[in-house]
């Protein structure tokens, strides 16, 4: 693994455990379940930045590099990649490790999730607004 494992002292946007209900017929975890966890994790950061409702508009550059097993601890780490006018793109890395400590954490997938800040009528609104200083940080 060429990547450095994220510092586990810093909080991931989301941490959960892969359960039997999330497995496919081979006993490995469904990619679709992982993708939904990553969408949720990215949405947490995008919502903080936008300070408004958000909606996922695009998911790009997803790559699954290693399987996740039932019982693994799954952590999604998020980083703002780009803030546009109404959109925020978040890079999400997902790492898994055995909950019993049998192996160290490995990066299992990563992807680029883009969210649009929306108002109550679901219309796009600027991410950076006079009332929203958070997005600039």
Ligand X SMILES: CC(C)(COP(=O)(O)OP(=O)(O)OC[C@H]1O[C@@H](n2cnc3c(N)ncnc32)[C@H](O)[C@@H]1OP(=O)(O)O)[C@@H](O)C(=O)NCCC(=O)NCCS
User: Using CB under 6 A as the criterion, which residues of the chain lie in contact with ligand X when the complex forms?
Assistant: 55-58, 84-87, 114, 116, 118, 122, 124
CB 3 to ligand X: min, Å: 24
- E strand segments, the chain: 14-17, 53-64, 72-83, 87-98, 106-118
Backbone torsions φ then ψ of 125, nearest 5 degrees: -130, 155
CB nearer ligand X, residue 52 or residue 75: 52
Name which of 75 and 86 has its Cβ closer to ligand X.
Answer: 86
Query: What does the angle CA 18 – CA 54 – CA 13 come to, to the nearest 5 degrees?
Result: 35
Q: Which residue is nearest to ligand X (CB)?
A: 84
Nearer to ligand X, 90 or 96 (CB): 90
The sign of the torsion formed by the CA atoms of 23, 62, 5, 41 equals: negative
The least CB distance from residue 57 to ligand X, in Å, is: 5
CB of 77 to ligand X, least distance (A): 21
Q: For the CB of residue 68, give the shortest distance to ligand X in the complex, in Å.
A: 22
> Are 44 and 117 in contact, with CB atoms under 8 Å apart?
no
Say whether 50 sits in a helix, a strand or coil. helix
Query: Of 75 and 87, which has the nearer Cβ to ligand X?
Result: 87
């Amino acid at each position: 693994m060429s990547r450095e494992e994220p510092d586990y002292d810093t909080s991931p946007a989301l941490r959960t455990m892969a359960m039997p209900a999330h497995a496919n017929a081979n006993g490995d975890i469904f990619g679709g379940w992982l993708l939904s966890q990553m969408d949720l994790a990215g949405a947490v950061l995008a919502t903080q930045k936008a300070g408004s409702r958000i909606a996922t508009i695009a998911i790009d550059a997803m790559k699954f590099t290693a399987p996740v097993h039932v019982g693994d601890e799954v952590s999604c780490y998020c980083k703002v990649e780009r803030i546009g006018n109404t959109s925020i793109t978040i890079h999400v890395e997902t790492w898994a490790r055995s909950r019993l400590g049998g192996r160290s954490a490995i990066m299992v997938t990563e992807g680029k999730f883009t969210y649009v800040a929306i108002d109550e009528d679901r219309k796009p609104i600027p991410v950076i607004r006079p009332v929203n200083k958070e997005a600039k940080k």
